[in-house]
Structure 1
Amino acid sequence: MSSHRVDWILTTRRQAAEEAARQVEEKLLQKDASYREASRELKQTGAKLALARVGGADTKELEMRMRKWEKIKAERLRKNGLTEADLLPRYTCPVCRDTGRKPGGGDCDCKRQLALEQLFEEDPSAKMLKEETFATFDLSLFRDTKQGEEPESPRSMMRTMRREALAFTENFAREGDRNWLLYGPVGSGKSFLCHAIARDMMDKGIPVVYQTAYGMQELFQSVRFAQAKDRAEREGALKRLMEADLLVIDDLGTETVHSVSVAHFFELLNDRLLEKKSTIISTNLEPPEIERIYSPRIFSRLFGQYEMYNIFGDDLRLRV
């Protein structure tokens, strides 16, 4: 997605907030003559005070006049059920005031998150991320009885997983380097959990990248074979995978695995572990299959550094 789209959204937000604040004061100026007089006197006295200070003149009388009119203005605001804050723009991001730039320089987190949200909108997975949330998490879909060697019913297991997932998102600021691997049969609810976590984190303003394993593998291949004019864009997408506060990789094992993609995948996992960036991975593969398909090195990283969750139960896609 072009950065121009993000800049346009930020500009629109900023202008809307400033126009809304302007309209609040404009209505007050029109209906309250005393407020109108106080505002006019403050502007005029403020200008005189500034000139007096520059010229080194005595400012005592002007300062007294400023305090007088400030008091009157505050009283008129209270009479109208308003405060000074009501006259200020209510920016979507109070840190950068919807400029996209931090006060000390550099891109604001809100701009980075907005760019990610726009990427979600352009991704086919966006619909699932909007629909499969904690609010739509329906435990009644899961079987409430144990079968075979199951340690508990799928419903009981998913009730626990929902609680764990909510705790993950709520405590992310304090425990931001946790990593999960969700494994189990097709249709058991792993992707739903991934979607719900990603959506909740985005709603909290935390930079998230959601990527299917197939999309990730395609990106790895495209970086290798990209023409010069496309290389910067592809490498930028790969950089986002590396730098996102949370990376969600869904359906590991459904992609065609190549030596190039395995090497990139190991580098991605290893770099994120070193940088203490959280990653959540879902897969239909059992642990031995992961080691066989992706290499012992990747298996070691996953099963040594990740919290493992076996998601079991019936294929929900056959019930919905």
Structure 2
Amino acid sequence: MRTKQELYQAALRTVALRRQTARANAEDARLEAEAAIPALRHAEDEVRVRGIRCALAGAAGKDRTEAAAALSKARQELTALLAASGRPADALEPKFTCKLCQDTGSVQGRTCTCVHKLMQGLRREEIEALSSLSISSFDTMELRYYPNTMDEKLGEPVRTYMGGLLEDLRSYAEEFDHNSESLMLFGNAGLGKTHAALAIAGIVLQKDFDVIYVSSPDFFGKLENARFDSSEDAETLLRTASAADLLILDDLGTEFVTPYFITTFYSLLNNRLGAGLPTIVTTNIADGSLLEKRYTEKISSRLSSFVPCLFAGEDIRGLKAAE
């Protein structure tokens, strides 16, 4: 799990490499064109000299009409030479990936959108390495796997109920911002809780928010190991998870509970709730009393502030395996 700053630096390195590559390719194209068109270098020099004279005239407050006309003529002659050789007018210009910032990563002193998109892509790759985000979306959650039978507790057919719940979760993702509420997706195993959480992650990432997805046993196990491994930084891991725009904590209830886990989990929840940052938890634990028994009253109290989202039905994995 990389920090947001680490993602930013990685994105800037990619942008810098793009710019370097574009300029190198442009120089290769220039050398090739100059070798094929004897008069090209002179035409380029004319454009360069006329451009400088035009700029100097403007800086001195002089009439630029004559200088601008000479520059325009020089450009036309250069374009004509390129066209005669079958090359476009911009054949000698670098082909930058981002037209907005020309692969500098900055526009008018602000980080370019291309950098943010690269950061999103890097975070998505990170989540995909830990999950099946690449195949998780609300469109792939087929309602046919939920029974179309009446459920007395729900007061409606399970399929109808789950259809409404999934639409609500999709809306949550599409309308996500820092004021969004925290969610607890709970229910028996194999009902699509993780799938729905990752579908939310995919949409929220596209909205330029930083999303961190962690498996509860893996994350807290890594924190535990970091206490004794100098190559890991428990404080950085915890701070990164605490500061994410959206944290998805998957499979809560499958981790090994230790005093250190209780302290760390409480700190994570407290930090995020205090900062007003949304968290999504998925768990098979449906009984509030069991949550309190496993995690202490203080943690259970904080989890009780999450909006409960019950997943109902039969184990979808088993149904798919039987097909």
- Greater CA drift, 10-19 or 178-187: 10-19
Change (3 A) 1:100 1:63: closer
Matches of 1:170 and 1:18 in 2, distance apart? 39
Cross-structure match for 1:264: 264
Cross-structure match for 1:302: 303
Change (3 A) 1:217 1:167: same
Aligned to 1:188, what secondary structure does the other structure show? coil
> Which residue among 208, 212, 230 is the counterpart of 2:211?
208
Cross-structure match for 2:220: 217
Query: How far does residue 273 in structure 1 lie from its aligned partner after superposition?
Result: 1.7
Matches of 2:160 and 2:261 in 1, distance apart? 37
Cross-structure match for 2:140: 136
Q: Deviations over 1:283-310 (max 9, x none)?
A: 1112221121111112221212x21111
> Which residue among 222, 226, 229 is the counterpart of 2:228?
226
> Which residue among 172, 177, 189 is the counterpart of 1:168?
172
Change (3 A) 1:69 1:155: farther
Aligned to 2:53, what secondary structure does the other structure show? helix
Matches of 1:70 and 1:316 in 2, distance apart? 66
Q: In the alignment, residue 261 of structure 2 is paired with which amino acid?
A: S
Matches of 2:250 and 2:299 in 1, distance apart? 16
Q: Is contact 2:54-2:64 (8 Å) kept?
A: yes
Cross-structure match for 2:244: 244
Corresponding residue pairs, total = 304
Matches of 1:218 and 1:251 in 2, distance apart? 13
Matches of 1:104 and 1:240 in 2, distance apart? 23
Matches of 1:310 and 1:12 in 2, distance apart? 47
- Greater CA drift, 90-99 or 293-302: 90-99
Query: How far does residue 6 in structure 1 lie from its aligned partner after superposition?
Result: 5.3
Q: In the alignment, residue 263 of structure 1 is paired with which amino acid?
A: T
Identity %: 24
| Structure 2 alignment gaps of length 5 or more | 35-40, 80-87
Q: In the alignment, residue 156 of structure 2 is paired with which amino acid?
A: E
- Greater CA drift, 47-56 or 286-295: 47-56
Aligned to 2:312, what secondary structure does the other structure show? coil
Matches of 1:172 and 1:277 in 2, distance apart? 11
Query: How far does residue 208 in structure 1 lie from its aligned partner after superposition?
Result: 0.7
Aligned to 1:319, what secondary structure does the other structure show? helix
Cross-structure match for 1:318: 318
- Greater CA drift, 59-68 or 104-113: 104-113
Q: In the alignment, residue 221 of structure 1 is paired with which amino acid?
A: E
Q: Deviations over 1:85-139 (max 9, x none)?
A: xx88564695794648993579954454344234335x3x33x111222232211
What RMSD, in angstroms, separates the aligned Cα atoms of the two structures?
4.4
Matches of 1:44 and 1:226 in 2, distance apart? 65
**Where do 1:97-112 residues align within 5 Å?**
97=103, 99=105, 103-104=109-110, 109-110=116-117, 112=119
TM-score normalised by the chain length of structure 1: 0.74
Q: Deviations over 1:261-291 (max 9, x none)?
A: 1211111112112222111111111222112
Q: In the alignment, residue 186 of structure 1 is paired with which amino acid?
A: A
Cross-structure match for 1:146: 150
